[in-house]
Copies of this chain bind each other. A is one copy, B any other.
């Protein structure tokens, strides 16, 4: 196709997750057809976001304000900090609408393979935050992967001097999970952590 600008938009869209060249083409067609209702608003909000999104200087969250909306929300407890690897994990915890404390976004995990050490993560500011009097608990909500757990262990050492309780997310059978289909690791962990009925 010789439409260079349109081709360029299709190429960019096809780089996004869950979009291939074919669905990107469909997306761009939809945009072109709904120029006023969709393309123009998308352009405007993208521009606003590009201009305003910055990293929160307290927790590492990305937001259009600094400190971010969560850090500056006075209704949220200062006593609990939930440490997550990534923005996506923060969003996931926010979606379950249960947690009312603050966050700390590490920006990844320690990884020997990818040559990522503690200095590349947002760890030092966490240690400083943990020293504050009002902080009582730190929840290490890194992923249940090798790197996530390694990072969590490293953090418990770094936070040893702070006067805080350190906790982690419970492991066990997921909602709706059938024993027959669970991996051995999960089932073993659920058995070890069994609770009185």
Interface residues of A (CB under 8 A from B): 1-6, 8-9, 12-13, 15-19, 23, 25-27, 29-33, 35, 38-43, 45-50, 52-53, 62-64, 69-70, 73, 87-88, 91, 94-95
A2-B69, A46-B46 given as contacts; is B23 within 8 A of A18 (CB)? yes
A17-B23, A46-B39, A50-B35 given as contacts; is B3 within 8 A of A69 (CB)? yes
Chain B residue at smallest Cβ distance from A36 = B50
How many copies altogether?
2
Interface pairs A-B: 5 shortest CB-CB: A2-B69, A18-B23, A43-B46, A16-B27, A12-B42
Bound-state Cα–Cα, A63 to B9, Å: 13
Helix, strand, loop or mixed for chain A's interface? Answer: helix
A3 touches B64 (CB 8 A): yes
What are the residues of chain B within 8 A of A30 when measuring CB–CB? 16-17
**Min C-beta distance of A89 to chain B, whole Å:** 11
Chain B residue at smallest Cβ distance from A91 = B1
Bound-state Cα–Cα, A8 to B62, Å: 15
B87 touches A29 (CB 8 A): yes
Bound-state Cα–Cα, A12 to B189, Å: 41
What are the residues of chain B within 8 A of A53 when measuring CB–CB? 5-6, 32, 35
Bound-state Cα–Cα, A25 to B16, Å: 11
